[in-house]
Structure 1
């Protein structure tokens, strides 16, 4: 079982801590009385999605023996206007750099990460449409998931 503790530190600031002692400060926006002393909780959800898929993509590429020098994930989310203001759609951009990175293997790694291994993606895609694109060494590629029959 996963467990975290979230502690109020005054005003609208909270600090989350996991069982390993890693801490994340969170704060509300100024319209709720926040003082910009931490990340907004909804932004943390996008970070979690990027981190989860990034870890899985990196792990899968390592197993495929695909060497890369950089792997970044940009995550952009749009929220609905009414409460609860959940994400309606999320766009992810996977940026890699290195020599001889095959787009087919990157595509397969992303597909496996988002559809099978990343719990955050599997949970969030029940609420929001998640789309992605790929950039390798500055060249943009359209993400086209590989058919299960291939």
Structure 2
């Protein structure tokens, strides 16, 4: 079982702490009385998706012996207008740099990450349509998911 602690630090600021002691400050927007002292909770969800799929993609590519110099993940989300303002669409772009990165192996790693191993993706896709793309050294490839076999 996972367990975190979220503590109020005054005004609209909260700090989340995981079981190992890592901390993440969260704060509301100024319109809600926040003072820009932390990430917004909904943005943290997008970061969680990027981190979860990134860890899985990186791990799978390591097992495939695919080397890369850098991986940066951009996650954008559109929210519905009415409360609760959940994400309706999310788009994730994985930007790789390095030599001889085979796109077919990156796509296979992404398929395994998003369909099987990443809990955040599997949870969020029940609410939002998630799309993905891969950029390798400036060339972008749209990800077309295949049904898990």
Q: TM-score, normalised by structure 2?
A: 0.97
Structure 1 unaligned spans of 5+: none
Distance (whole Å) between structure 1 residues aligned to residue 121 and residue 68 of structure 2: 23
Where does 1:124-135 land on structure 2 (aligned, <5 Å)?
124-135=124-135
Partner of 1:38: 38
TM-score after normalising by structure 1: 0.97
2:118 corresponds in structure 1 to: 118
Deviations 1:117-142 (CA, angstroms, capped at 9, x unpaired): 00000000000000011100111112
Aligned residues: 149
Matched, 1:93 2:86: no
Distance 2:147 2:121 in 1: 19
Q: Check the 8 A contact 2:52/2:119 in 1, yes or no.
A: yes
State yes or no: 1:27 paired with 2:30.
Answer: no
The CA distance in 1 between the partners of 2:114 and 2:148, in whole Å, is 14
